Amino acid sequence: MTNYLVTGGAGFIGSHLVDRLVNENEITVIDNLSSGKKEYINPKANFYEKDLLKFNDILDIFDGINTVLHVAANPDVKLSAVDTKTYFDQNIVATYNVLEAMRKKDVSKIVFTSSSTIYGRAPMPTPEDYGPLIPESIYGASKLACEGLISSYCHTFGFKSWIFRFANIIGERSNHGVIPDFIEKLKTNPKELEILGDGKQLKSYLYVGECIDQILFAFNNSQDRVNIFNVGSQDHVSVSKIAELVSNKMRLIPKFIFTGGEIGWKGDIPRMLLDIDKLIKLGYATKYNSYDSVKKTIRELLHD
């Protein structure tokens, strides 16, 4: 039995990871509940309501841990154009504290959830070895900084890491992003739907269940010192198409109001498709494409 520590285990992706692992492993969750929900925490897990920024409060929780699944972060890309320090603290400093706690408690394996935003505007589909990496959002820059810290700890202190660069992960329990945004807007005003940008943004989406599949498959089948994988689907969907799918499922015919421009907010990357051939060549078989992931998520969030 493996002792896993999941940071952010009350959040969207973290809670799904816990659910997948908890029946055959000892799971400890650290979450400050700033965006996660206590009801998402599997009752079989050991839960500590702690803040990763308070190092002395979390250090002893790392005793006896075999592997850290570091999922905790502030995921709101749009907010980074307004509140810059949040990302330095909650993403970079929090990751440093996790790595230092691992070093002091002799924990040598870390799984880290990164982001496609580290690539910036890159050719599609984007492979893991694309460079130079020029993120456009402070969120993306913070994730890239975390990757650098993790890599340096691997080479300096003998850690082993699995870094996963996510496409847009969607599904049950997700509370931010284009689909929850459209649903809430249409509940407020069924006649009009504001769409940020021109609606032509093309992005890859992946259902959360398959996101967990890809993470665990790569973790169990790759053994380099630093293992980096894209996590996503092999196609993309436009924002306007998602607006149509949400509207149709809610049995509404709203007027679409576009805010204009190719991006929805500062730091937005209008076109994103990750190359997941590295994962496929390892033996992984894909299950969902972007379109199916979007449709399944709409049904789940509308409890249909």
pLDDT in tens, 113-160: 999 999 999 999 999 999 999 999 999 999 999 999 999 999 999 999
The 10s digit of each residue's pLDDT in 262-295 is: 888 788 899 999 999 999 999 999 999 999 999 9
Indicate the fold that domain 171-204+234-301 takes in CATH.
UDP-galactose 4-epimerase; domain 1 (3.90.25)
CB 77 within 8 A of CB 135: no
Segment 13-31 shows an average pLDDT of 97
The pairing of strands 202-203 and 237-238 is: antiparallel
Extents of the domains making up the chain: 3-169+206-231, 171-204+234-301
At CB < 8 A and 24+ separation, what contacts does 156-161 make?
157/103, 157/108, 158/108, 159/99, 159/102, 159/108, 159/109, 159/110, 159/225, 160/108, 160/109, 160/110, 160/223, 160/224, 160/225, 160/226, 160/227, 161/109, 161/110, 161/111, 161/112, 161/225, 161/226, 161/227
Pick the CATH number of 3-169+206-231 from 3.40.50.720, 3.40.720.10, 3.30.2020.30, 3.40.190.100: 3.40.50.720
Q: Residue 26: pLDDT above 70?
A: yes
Mean pLDDT, rounded, of the chain = 95
3-state secondary structure labels for all residues of the chain: CCEEEEECCCCHHHHHHHHHHCCCCEEEEECCCCCCCHHHCCCCCEEECCCCCCHHHHHHHHCCCCEEEECCCCCCCHHHHCCHHHHHHHHHHHHHHHHHHHHHCCCCEEEEEEEHHHHCCCCCCECCCCCCCCCCCHHHHHHHHHHHHHHHHHHHHCCEEEEEEECEEECCCCCCCHHHHHHHHHHHCCCEEEECCCCCCEECEEEHHHHHHHHHHHHHHCCCCEEEEEECCCCCEEHHHHHHHHHHHCCCCCEEEECCCCCCCCCCCCEECECCHHHHHCCCCCCCCHHHHHHHHHHHHCCC
pTM: 0.96
Q: Which two tokens stand for residue 156?
A: 């300096």
Between 22-31, 181-190, 241-250, 263-272, the lowest mean confidence (pLDDT) is in 263-272
Integer CA distances (angstroms), 25 to 18, 109, 127, 142, 219, in order: 10, 16, 33, 31, 15
pLDDT at 80: 67
The yes-or-no answer to whether 3-169+206-231 and 171-204+234-301 have a common fold is no
- Cα–Cα distance between 158 and 107 in angstroms, integer? 10
286: which residues sit within 8 A by CB, 6+ positions away?
210, 233, 234, 276, 280
